[in-house]
Amino acid sequence: MAGALLGEAFLTAAIDVLVDRITTGGLTLIGGKKLEDGLRNKLKPLLMSVNALRDDAETKQITNRNVKSWLSELKDAVYDAEDFLDEIATEALRMKLESEDQTTVSQVSRFFSSLSPFNNRETGFKLEEILGRLEYLVNQKDILGLEKFRAIVRTVPTYHLDILSDEDCWHLFAKHAFVNTNPSRHPNLKVIGEAIVKKCSGLPLAAKTLGGLLRCELNAQEWNKVLTSNLWDMTDDARRTHSVVDGRSIGKLEINQCDGLQMEPLPCGLRKLRIHDLSINDSILEQMIQPCTSLENLYINCRELTSLPDSSSLPMTLKKLGIGESNVLDDTKILLYTSLESLDIYNSRCNGVESFSLGSFPLLKRLDIRGCEELKWIIGASEGENAPLSSRLSSLWIQNCPNLICFDKLEGFCAPNLTSLHLFGCENLKALPEQMHSLFPSLDYLVIESCPKIEGLPKEGLPSKLKTLDITRGCKKLIEGMVRRDREWALQSLPSLTSFEISGEGGEEIEGIESFPDEHLLPSSLTFLKIYSFPNLKCLESKGFQHLTSLRLLHIHECPMLQSMPEKRVLSSLSYLEIHRCPKLRENCEKEKGKLWPNISHIPFIWNDGELIIM
């Protein structure tokens, strides 16, 4: 129990540190460019949300095995986020160095700008993965009965704001109602507007909302509809659940836990709609969205729904569909949504859907399936269906689908534009697609994580354009097969591979690997190599590094028994070495004192457990 409490204390501290690092700008720049705001801005609130749930989870884990597993997944996700920030901390350090020591500016700037291990695209993929895992954990709160720790929510005092004067309220209303025109030019509307403002009772949100509703509307009849609406005569409770406005000017709408909301047809100009935890049936949902002739993005997260809307109820403009926390995935309907370009399925029991046909969506560019418990096969075409010769698919993520067995019936199918494939938490997946090199000829980013039954790569090898390969966490058979039968892997035949990450973390411990890599394993094109969490690794083989003449960045994390490094002549191309949580190696690589210092003293930048050494 004491060990568990200690682990929880470390988890709390880790989350606090992560939030602080994000707040202080540690995630601002990568490779000199801003990370996508939408991704960056999600990370902090997600971390705060899981931290708020953590307190309740730590109490309930004693009696609930599922909650205990949830905490374990949370720790893994948080530590991965911590490693992610560690990896990009060097860029923040560059900015700091520029301000503190101008003599090193040109040297450091050239270094980071030329060989940053994280281009924007790959960094975005990694951050999307972390966000997806954290979001998945937060979404489990209702299933597990977790509640947010109220003390965290009330961190600031409540401030009571004064109401606006009639004059200020009018100015706010007019600002939103009269665009590119002056109220004085429309005296009839001004009279009606002033009457509406008086009924707002000085409430700024009411003035802003009603002004936005009447934005660019010059028809006095429409203004009078608002003025004479029975809304003004309602009690507070009734007003909360009434459909206040027709919303013609609304382009994006999110409805969240509004069971008392009066359901009416939504505006035809609506482009994005998100519905969360709403107690509505299938027919009501269809009635709501049928008028939305411009709808492009729809996200549904309603557990009571048992079926998706008929395709005839959805506009042909629909391009993005998200389904979360529900039982609505029905292949008889979803396969008719042929206009989709992006499809996300989160935590759906799939209603008996055991296979998913890639060939049913000729326009699909992005497919993300997470937590689909009953899914068994990813196929090229359904029975009786002719698979298209090619697909527009560019990104495929399959995560936490424990019953997925294999990719099947892919004959004649090809996804020439697929560049990113991510497989995570597929406990029964036994193999990657055969003929992968011809099915996905443009694939350049492949991540395999927590797939314990995959034993090897396709016999014909991986796509030749592959640039990044990550095999991490819980892939014991795959990693052992790679190390012990390395020549079958033919990684040396991948001329474009520049980044390779391998991790023994998670699942069953990999015990027998004491040296790495074999001289026939890695390709000479490699520029970035990360070796992570091998508890019995003792030696990095010089023979395995001697042909890596392009290698510039080497990361070694959590290898407690490792105490040797390749010879200096073998590491001549290296520009950056990072050692993290490797106590023996850290001591042996200590500047001017360690016995391995002569082997690495030529490397311009060395990060040894938090200490940066610039040569």
Q: What is the DSSP string of 62-100?
A: TT-HHHHHHHHHHHHHHHHHHHHHHHHHHHHHHHHHHHH
Considering the domain architecture, whether residues 124 and 200 belong to the same structural domain is answered as no
Kindly tell me if the per-residue pLDDT of 613 is higher than 60.
yes
Q: What percent of the chain has pLDDT over 70?
A: 66
* Domain final residue, candidates 179, 212, 241: 241
| pLDDT per position as a tens digit, 97-146 | 444 444 444 554 455 444 444 445 556 666 666 777 777 677 666 656 67
What pLDDT score does 472 carry? Answer: 86
Range of the domain at 112: 2-153
What pLDDT score does 28 carry? Answer: 45
Kindly tell me if the per-residue pLDDT of 18 is higher than 80.
no
- Region 43-56 average pLDDT: 73
Kindly tell me if the per-residue pLDDT of 506 is higher than 80.
no
User: How many folded domains does the chain comprise?
Assistant: 3
What pLDDT score does 33 carry? Answer: 44
Q: How distant, in Å, are the alpha carbons of 12, 22, 73, 91, 97 from that of 79?
A: 11, 15, 10, 20, 27
Considering the domain architecture, whether residues 498 and 522 belong to the same structural domain is answered as yes
Considering the domain architecture, whether residues 560 and 476 belong to the same structural domain is answered as yes
The amino acid at residue 254 is E
Considering the domain architecture, whether residues 110 and 135 belong to the same structural domain is answered as yes
- Region 276-287 average pLDDT: 69
What pLDDT score does 464 carry? Answer: 92
- Region 144-171 average pLDDT: 65
What pLDDT score does 230 carry? Answer: 60
State whether residue 484 is helix, strand or coil. Answer: helix
Considering the domain architecture, whether residues 112 and 222 belong to the same structural domain is answered as no
Cα 456 to its chain centre, rounded Å, is: 27
Q: Which long-range contacts (CB under 8 A, 24 or more apart) does 183-186 make?
A: 186/218
Considering the domain architecture, whether residues 477 and 507 belong to the same structural domain is answered as yes
Of 74-88, 133-147, 232-246, 416-430, minimum mean pLDDT range: 232-246
User: How do beta strands 539-540 and 297-301 pair?
Assistant: unpaired
Average pLDDT, the chain: 75
State whether residue 357 is helix, strand or coil. Answer: strand
What pLDDT score does 11 carry? Answer: 58
More confident residue, 594 or 77: 594
| pLDDT per position as a tens digit, 361-408 | 888 899 988 888 888 888 876 555 555 555 788 999 998 888 888 887
* Domain final residue, candidates 241, 262, 289: 241
Kindly tell me if the per-residue pLDDT of 279 is higher than 60.
yes
The amino acid at residue 137 is L
Considering the domain architecture, whether residues 143 and 170 belong to the same structural domain is answered as no
Q: Do the domain assignments include residue 431?
A: no
- Burial of 467 per CB tally in 10 Å (0-12, 13-18, 19+): buried
Q: Do the domain assignments include residue 366?
A: no
Of 145-154, 175-184, 359-368, minimum mean pLDDT range: 145-154
* Domain final residue, candidates 241, 274, 300: 241
| pLDDT per position as a tens digit, 308-367 | 777 666 778 888 988 877 665 555 666 677 788 998 887 766 666 788 888 778 888 999
Considering the domain architecture, whether residues 222 and 144 belong to the same structural domain is answered as no
Q: Do the domain assignments include residue 295?
A: no
| pLDDT per position as a tens digit, 19-49 | 665 555 544 444 444 444 555 566 667 777 7
Q: Do the domain assignments include residue 208?
A: yes
DSSP state of 515: E
More confident residue, 614 or 410: 614
In the block, which residue shows the tokens 């509640």?
Answer: 147
Kindly tell me if the per-residue pLDDT of 547 is higher than 50.
yes
- Region 540-545 average pLDDT: 90
Kindly tell me if the per-residue pLDDT of 74 is higher than 90.
no
Considering the domain architecture, whether residues 115 and 30 belong to the same structural domain is answered as yes
Q: Do the domain assignments include residue 296?
A: no
Considering the domain architecture, whether residues 103 and 37 belong to the same structural domain is answered as yes
Considering the domain architecture, whether residues 97 and 139 belong to the same structural domain is answered as yes
Q: CB of 266 within 8 A of CB of 291?
A: yes
Q: Do the domain assignments include residue 436?
A: no
Considering the domain architecture, whether residues 25 and 149 belong to the same structural domain is answered as yes
